[in-house]
Structure formats: structure tokens, C-alpha cells
Amino acid sequence: MSHKVIIIGSGPAGWTAAIYAGRAELAPVVFEGAEPGGQLMSTTAVENFPGFPEGIQGSDLMDHMRAQAKRFGAEVLSQRVDQVDFSARPFKVTSNNRIYEADVVIVSTGASARRLGIESEQKFYGRGVSACATCDGFFFKNKKVVVVGGGDAAMEEAMFLTRFATQVVLVHRRENFRASKIMQDRVAQQPKISIIRNAEVLEILGQDATRVTGIQLKDVQTGEISELETDGVFVAIGHAPNTKLFENILDLDEHGYIKTKPGTTQTSLPGILAAGDVQDSVYRQAITAAGSGCMAAIEAERMLREV
């Protein structure tokens, strides 16, 4: 059976596209993917999404969006897309060995947390190395933790971890932080947080493979190598777009983001639209993702009228 619209991804872009497409009676099918709800599922309070003056938990916001999309008839599949064939209409999307067809596909696969990319990080993942302070911070009560990164996400994780940990060390590989001024100020005023600048994490150190005991750092200016004792390492060094499925199919920029025509969500292939962080390396906000998801649904509706 062929559908009108398939939406790949379930962050703010995907759900907003589904809400608009649903209301336009396009009966969208949403593939939630391997990280349902996307990046907001692992954040704490979202304070800058309009309409929530007291802030809202990221996971609550995503639950609301999902419910809203379902209310307007979105079909939600808790599945990951394994392969796409965009060579001819109807476009084909393979998931769980089944092929789904649609006249328009909206790609909103977002971005996923970047990892340090060292072997010891993999070895201790879930054993003291984490990419989600809101999920795992609780297990570091009265312990010492390190947060790696220099953006807003790293600052938020560090602030959140002060609820549990006795000491939080923020390690950043540059001199200056990318984080917003408000977050930098909050961190500066928090006595539990100390900062190490110009330092790169070389290795996660630990006892056998079950417990982290420290990290090895390299001063990027002097080359000096040192060790820092810690019970946990939270990695918050940004995100990379989830575009592996679309390599050699859609035009991507040099960092792997899907290229869209300015002012639209149109990709290099007619009928394939992209919304949210997967095509946005500049703003990367819940609200901009939602905005572009809305644009994609409206463009889809117009295209389908012409088909």
C-alpha cells in the first residue's frame, strides 16, 4: 500500500510535520527510529520553547507532540528505517524487511550525540561514560564527575550534575566556550564546578572494564599530559547529523548535513524534503526544527496537490 507522506524521525521536526500533515488529511506515517523523541528526550527542562513560561521537561514536550500528531491521524511506527530508494516515485523506504511507499518523504532524522571516538570511551560506555546526564547523573551521588565539552549542552549537563556529584570538572579543549552567556554565568557562579581549558581527553582510565577511575588529559598548548581522578565522564561535545542512509542519494554539505534550497525544505531530489537538525547546522533549536517541520508539511501538501 502506498502512502501520501512518510516522515522519518520523531523529534520536534518530525512531529510538527506529522501534526500539519495529519491536519491536512495526508495520513502521514512516522518512523520513530532508534532514538524516539530525539535529542530532547535526554535534556532536562526546556526553558526557551515558547508557550511554557515555567519551562517544560524535554521528554514531556516530546510526549505532547507525539500525542498531538496521533490525534490528527498520524500512524506511528516504532521502527527504524534501514534503507531508502528515492530513484523513482513512489519512493521506497525499507524497515524490518518490509517496503513502505510514499509520494513524498520528509527526512527529519536529526542529529545524534557525538562521541570522543577513543577505544576506552566505548569500553566504559554505560559503565561510567555517559552522553546523558539527566538519565545517568543520579548514579553519581556523592561522586566526582567530569563533563567534556564547551557548548550550552555541556554547561547544562554540568549544572544538572551538581545536584548529585560532590564535584564537577568541566573539560574543554579550547580557551573560549561556545555556550551562551547566561549558561556561562550560571556555571561560573556554581561553586561545585571547576573548569579546565585547553585540554583534550586522551584516554578514559578504569579498573578492569566495570568502573571509571580517571581520565588522561593533554594540554593542547604545552603538550603536557596529566591525569585527573573521576568516577564518571559525561560527553557533551556536540552532535552529528544522522544522514548515513542518504549518502550518495541526497546532496549533503561537507559536514554531512542535507542541503536544502534556501527558504524551503526541498532537497536535491524533488519530492524529498528535509526538516530539523538534519539540514540545519546553524540554529539547531527545538523551535527552529519544529518550524522547518511545519514548512515541510505545507510544501508536501502543495506538491501532492500538483501530483
Catalytic residues, which ones?
Answer: 132, 135-136
Q: Does 96 bind other proteins (CB under 8 A)?
A: yes
Q: Least Å distance between CB 136 and other proteins?
A: 5
Residue type, 42: S
218 binds other proteins (CB under 8 A): no
Q: Show the CA angle centred on residue 28, arms to residues 92 and 4, nearest 5°.
A: 55
Nearer to other proteins, 129 or 252 (CB): 129
Residue 137 or 149 with smaller CB distance to other proteins: 137
Distance CA 238, CA 173 (A): 13
9 binds other proteins (CB under 8 A): no
For every residue of 143-181, DSSP letters joined together read -EEEEE--SHHHHHHHHHHTTT-SEEEEE-SSSS--S-H
Q: Which stretch binds other proteins (CB under 8 A): 22-30, 33-41, 185-193, 269-277?
A: 33-41
Burial string for 123-136 (b: 16+ CB within 10 Å, else e) reads: ebeeebbbbbbbeb
Distance (Å, rounded) from C-alpha 8 to C-alpha 205? 38
Work out whether 37 is an interface residue with other proteins (CB under 8 A): yes
Does position 90 interact with other proteins (CB under 8 A)? The reply is no
Give 32 or 299: the residue with its C-beta nearer to other proteins: 32
Subset of residues 231 to 260 that bind other proteins, contact rule: CB under 8 A: 232
Q: Which stretch binds other proteins (CB under 8 A): 34-42, 170-178, 189-197, 280-288?
A: 34-42
- Shortest spacing between CB 278 and other proteins, in angstroms: 18
CB atoms within 10 A of CB 269: 15
51 near other proteins, judged by CB under 8 A: no
| Grid cell at residue 183 | 549558561
- Rounded-to-integer distance, Cα 222 and Cα 8, Å: 46
Of the residues 16, 120, 134, 167, which one makes contact with other proteins according to CB under 8 A = 134
Nearer to other proteins, 130 or 266 (CB): 130
